[in-house]
Structure 1
């Protein structure tokens, strides 16, 4: 058995956690109960003030855990990956879960596509009580969707190559809303991603999640910052340049939605006007319509 394990690529999963004691054990157990035999788990407590430290100290399963002063999810994951030894790396939010065959399935799929630098599966949405809500079928990978549409394709369960991470570098700790998008835009410059067409993870929605909470003005401007930094990258592949206006327009659209969802309606309109100036077709896009509906619904709830 030991010889078989050592021939498998080692996979490291980092779980960053901050005051998520209610869900943390589910996340840890979902990694420790993988059918894949060569998994390293690292949990980084980002200065939690709840029962998280006690849970980590008393968990019966073997894994590495560290504690740092509160510095944000990105800093926690960066720290965890620096302690890791896996050939493939990944992360799992402390309120999400992996399905038992997730890592085995993704590693097998990556072995069939050696040129791929990252693989991501479909996933399920669950509620705060772990009840199934729906299944999300992730889009097939294309540079057009990721860059021009400014669409974050990988969700929970994604794995990526350590060698590529060494080239790309850490998550940007200055970004709080979309550091993943910034990371994936840097990653795609080194090779393709692949979708694994099977639901292999659970994404949990609950009142404490930052995904659906209002954001500050600075955080709402992150999409524009990220796409500008991407197009200022030295040595950016020339094929990406044809999408610059469309990518900028979609970044402004997302920024406009985030401002509008957070109640800054005038700034939201200005961002969407900038999007229309760059790409007039964006006015009639599904994305624009869905964003406007989302802002309207959030404004109605606040009333």
Structure 2
């Protein structure tokens, strides 16, 4: 059936790499959506576990691709390039959509035609799918996204294909925060809109990139991303006015990533530079949280 203007086709990409334990839950959560025009594309990024066999054996109606390992961003971009939807989205292979999620997010975008992206609240679950907490995301403000360097969209977000075609996909040179880089480019073409209902699950587990140490290059990604933004021509006066605060927040995140990975000298250097750029950051909740996390004794497995 061809989607109408009232019910645009939605394409969701699931990139997967050695996520055999979780990927079927992610797939099934998309296939179970009540919205009638969903195209699901799963891109296996060269998995060496049971993932390829699980995808081959799954009876569901979705598109499967397999490529040599090139990273999450490359897999995501390939999936979007093969898609045909007017609205695009993605789901990490260890996350899940709630029933009715796509229908609710499409409705939110229809009610906010100026919005280029819609994002819902979400639940955090553990590796056994037990609930941990509910994340009530802030209402969208460009200042929060840029000046605070706060990644507002989580799992379940959808965005307009027409804008994706203008900004391009994820930066394949980024491994930890390609989503943040993408959202900073996307927001220059229009506002986002929040759906204040938990509509997805974000899973935390031992193999999650979000909660694992990373090398120095990846820890510096926040600085690469914010510097890339401020090299863009034609930025609005408000965005230009946030530069010092945005850089300070990127420095704090970079410092935290270095400290979490055991590079304490770089942690202190980044935090000190952030405080010089934006003295108010010195006693901010974010700074205090980062410092307490680093100095708190790590529990033994």
Q: Into which bin does the TM-score normalised by the smaller protein fall?
A: over 0.9
- 1:1-303 to 2 correspondences below 5 Å: 2=1, 8-297=7-296, 299-301=297-299
CA contact (8 A) 1:6 1:38 kept: no
- TM superposition score normalised by structure 2: 0.97
Cα distance in 2 between the residues matched to 1:149 and 1:210: 22
- TM superposition score normalised by structure 1: 0.97
Cα distance in 1 between the residues matched to 2:284 and 2:228: 25
Cα distance in 2 between the residues matched to 1:196 and 1:93: 19
Aligned length: 301
Q: How far apart are 1:239 and its partner, in Å?
A: 2.0
CA contact (8 A) 1:5 1:38 kept: no
SS of 1:29's partner is helix
Q: How far apart are 1:238 and its partner, in Å?
A: 2.4
Cα distance in 2 between the residues matched to 1:280 and 1:291: 16
Unaligned runs of 5+ in 2: none
Q: How far apart are 1:237 and its partner, in Å?
A: 2.0
Q: How far apart are 1:294 and its partner, in Å?
A: 1.0
Q: How far apart are 1:130 and its partner, in Å?
A: 1.0
Q: How far apart are 1:133 and its partner, in Å?
A: 1.5
Cα distance in 1 between the residues matched to 2:269 and 2:77: 35
Q: 1:288 to 1:4 in 2, by over 3 A?
A: closer
Unaligned runs of 5+ in 1: none
RMSD: 1.4
Measured against aligned partners, the alpha-carbon deviations of 1:43-70 in whole angstroms (never above 9, x if no partner) come to: 0000000111111111111110100111
Cα distance in 2 between the residues matched to 1:210 and 1:177: 7
